[in-house]
A = this chain, B = another copy of it.
Amino acid sequence: MTTQLKAIIECLLYLAEEPLPVKRLRETIPGAETREIVSAVEELQQDYESESRGMELREVAGGYQLRSRPEFKDYIKRFRRVEPSRLSRAAMETLAIIAYKQPILKSEVERLRGVEVGGILRTLMEKGLIRVVGRKNLPGRPIIYGTTKKFLGVFELKDLSELPTLEEFTQITGETLHAYREDS
């Protein structure tokens, strides 16, 4: 189990958007005890200490996270300079869904994309491309999302009626976002 447990944990760390607390790992891996998880994480941490690794397994904000090794920061800087668009494909798709279907609930976005979008929504909020437009009168009063004025600005739209078709949208986004990053 130990080898596999380590592998599962590495896999989850790779996919996790946020530092992963041991508790969350335990919920995800049935049958694994806290003690086993902790020792697997520690082993993993040692594996990552090797010089031949590109990431470090660090304990931050109450959880574990794989982070790039700080000594590679110059490469990362250069890498991100040549990155064509600062929004991931997933973020782009999520943004498109919100733009076209707004006002929309997170649950509806997730149904359309078929994956969890919590982290992406946060990223889009941070970038000021979407905002909370209200709350739905449903149990839990879920948040309703919509795009912002900045969204219109970034995509050079007068108003939402100017939105291109979904297909055109994905074609133009790469370039516009690139330009947007340059001057932001």
Contact = CB atoms under 8 A, between A and B. Distances in A.
Interface of A: 3-4, 6-18, 24, 27-30, 51-55, 66, 68-69, 72, 75-76, 78-86, 88-90, 93, 110, 113-116, 125-126, 128, 131-132, 150, 166-167, 170
A22 to B, nearest CB: 13
Nearest to A90: B17
Assembly stoichiometry (copies): 2
Contact of A82 (B24, B81, B85, B131): B24
Q: Which 8 A-B pairs have the closest CB atoms?
A: A11-B54, A10-B54, A85-B114, A17-B88, A28-B79, A7-B54, A82-B116, A3-B52
Given A10-B55, A12-B54, A17-B90, 6 more contacts: A6-B52, A10-B54, A17-B83, A27-B78, A82-B116, A128-B170
Contact of A76 (B12, B54, B125): B12
